[in-house]
Amino acid sequence: MTRFPAARPRARVSLTACLATCLVASPALAAAAPAVVLPWGEWVVAFATTAQAVLMPLLVALATGLIARFAPLLSYVLSKSVVEGMVRRVTDYALNAVSGAAKGQVLTVPVGSAVIAAAVQRASDQAPGFVVKAAGGLPGIAEKVFRRLALEQGSTAANTLAPALAAVGLAAR
């Protein structure tokens, strides 16, 4: 350990006097001098304001990007569910409206064609245009109803679907 060279007695007295003056004068000076206040609250508010100004446009851009990315998928899912609900409702209506048809019953070719025609007519009269368009038009609705029906063994699109389309004034695809 290194020691300082022995201080001269006069220097020792001067150092001691200086320290004593500082210790005695400190409380008096502290009471007379104004306190130093750090405005850290203002700094936090300024930082938060700056962070908000920088982060809000970034968050808006992120949200907009996510919406743009998933909007087509969401639109597809919503339109598909709306179309399927509409097809289900017009099919149920047609099964109740056509004589000789009942839900859960196997339908003959003429009754199946009549049910498809009644369902397409109901969709044409009652469904909103954007739903009919999303379903592929009236021929698309007829095909969807055709797939939903329980038809007898010999039923085909040619002998069941085509007469139904002709009955409502649509040409077969």
**Cβ(161)–Cβ(143) below 8 Å:** yes
Kindly report, residue by residue over 69-81, the tens digit of the pLDDT: 888 888 888 888 9
Judged against a pLDDT cut of 70, whether residue 141 lies above it is answered with: yes
Q: Is residue 87 in some structural domain?
A: yes
Single out the residue of 166, 164, 171, 172 nearest to residue 101, CA to CA: 164
> What are the structure tokens assigned to 130, written together?
């954007």
Residue 68: inside a domain: no
**pTM strictly above 0.75:** no
Domain for residue 113, yes or no? yes
- Position 147 in a domain: yes
Q: Tokens at residue 11, please? A: 């220097």
Domain assignment present for residue 106? The answer is yes
Total of domains in the chain: 1
Whether residue 137 contacts residue 77, with contact meaning beta carbons closer than 8 Å, is answered with: no
CB of 93 closer than 8 Å to CB of 119: yes
φ and ψ of 18, to 5 deg: -65, -45
User: DSSP letter at 151?
Assistant: B
- Domain with 95, as residue range(s), is 81-167
In a domain, 17, yes or no: no
User: What was the pLDDT predicted at 118?
Assistant: 94
User: Could you report the per-residue pLDDT of 61-113, keeping only the tens digit for each?
Assistant: 999 999 998 888 888 888 889 999 999 999 999 999 998 888 888 888 899 99
3-state secondary structure 19-48: HHHHHHHHHHHHHHCCCCCCCHHHHHHHHH
